[in-house]
Amino acid sequence: MTASNEKSPRLSGKASRREVLGLTGAGVVLALGGSLCLSAECKNKEKEKGKDKKKEKGKDKNEMLQPGDKIDIGGKGKEIVEKAYRLGFDYEKKYGGCAQCTLAALQDAIPFVEVDKDLFRGAGCLDGGATPKGIQNCGGFTGSGMVIGYLCGRTRDEKFYGSTKPSHRIIRKVYKRFEEHYGSVLCKDVRKGAKSNCPEVVGRAAKWTAEAILAEFTDYEPPPETPDDKKPPKKPADKKPPKKLDDKKPPAKPAQKKPAKAADDKKTPDKT
């Protein structure tokens, strides 16, 4: 049996330059194709993650919440409400400015409320009823309304669009709490009912607003109101000025004048 003298060009000898380049090119294409596919998959995964984060956060900068939207807060509703109260109280005590302090407390306590510094700055002149006499709305109530409107109020581009109904529904819940506790939302009435304890007013405003927002857009259920929360504060009795000593004595009766005697009465009677 004689061996064949023919040699396979791929098994023996050197491959041609064209073959080497062809194989190399194919390998590069495959490698690039694989990396491109992986890159596209990574980008898609990042997009999905971004969407999930937005869903978890609940609100994009230009997105408003709609009726029926529900955000998962992981059962931390009570913690969020307590934090809103605490921050509102502390901010007002430290910095003052009830509208901004209420707004900032809600921004920092509620995870799906964006910390918008422009919105915060816009509340800068709304404390104290925005008037020297305090005859307009309490700044705590106004700051609450700004956050509610920012979350679910009407928006715009060239035109206005959206509905005002969700924001009105929530702010009226806050109004009810003010009215039940202070008898009014007017600054002068709230000050009087709170005995000028503005940190307490801001803390309560942030708490009541957080409860109303969470009840609307999460699974949080506010606790039942206590009887003390429903009763407006008693108005202090008007103190009358103390009476003077002279005022305590009964008034003196005017002296009665005796009738003047007639001339005949003055004469002595004739002796008989």
Q: Supply the DSSP string of 160-175, one letter for each residue.
A: EES-SHHHHHHHHHHH
Instruction: Provide the pLDDT for residue 92.
Output: 98
Question: How many domains does the structure of the chain reveal?
Answer: 2
Would residue 97 count as lying in a domain?
A: yes
Q: Are residues 46 and 112 in the same domain?
A: no
Would residue 70 count as lying in a domain?
A: no
On the CB side of 63, how many CA atoms lie within 13 Å of its CA? 12
Integer Cα distance of 162 and 142 in angstroms: 21
Instruction: Provide the pLDDT for residue 183.
Output: 96
Instruction: Provide the pLDDT for residue 63.
Output: 74
Between vectors from CA 57 to CA 145 and to CA 121, what angle results, nearest 5°? 40
Structure letter (DSSP) for residue 156: E
Would residue 91 count as lying in a domain?
A: yes
pLDDT in tens, 156-175: 999 999 999 999 999 999 99
Would residue 101 count as lying in a domain?
A: yes
Integer Cα distance of 98 and 21 in angstroms: 75
Q: Are residues 146 and 44 in the same domain?
A: no
Q: Are residues 181 and 152 in the same domain?
A: yes
Provide DSSP, 6-31: ---TTTSSPPPHHHHHHHHHHHHHHH
Last residue of a domain, one of 230, 247, 264: 230
Integer Cα distance of 213 and 215 in angstroms: 5
Instruction: Provide the pLDDT for residue 74.
Output: 94
Q: Are residues 50 and 157 in the same domain?
A: no
Would residue 160 count as lying in a domain?
A: yes
Q: Are residues 134 and 35 in the same domain?
A: no
CA 249 to chain centre: 60
Would residue 38 count as lying in a domain?
A: yes
Would residue 261 count as lying in a domain?
A: no
Integer Cα distance of 95 and 149 in angstroms: 24
pLDDT in tens, 218-257: 999 988 876 555 554 454 455 566 666 555 566 666 666 6
- Region 110-130: mean pLDDT is 95
Name the residue range of residue 53's domain. Answer: 23-57
Provide DSSP, 41-53: HHHHHHHHHHHHH
Assess whether pLDDT exceeds 50 at residue 56: no
Q: Are residues 40 and 102 in the same domain?
A: no
Q: Are residues 82 and 38 in the same domain?
A: no
Would residue 256 count as lying in a domain?
A: no
Cβ neighbours around 183 below 10 Å, total: 16
pTM recorded for the entire structure: 0.63
Non-local (6+) Cβ contacts of 41 within 8 A are none
Assess whether pLDDT exceeds 50 at residue 55: no
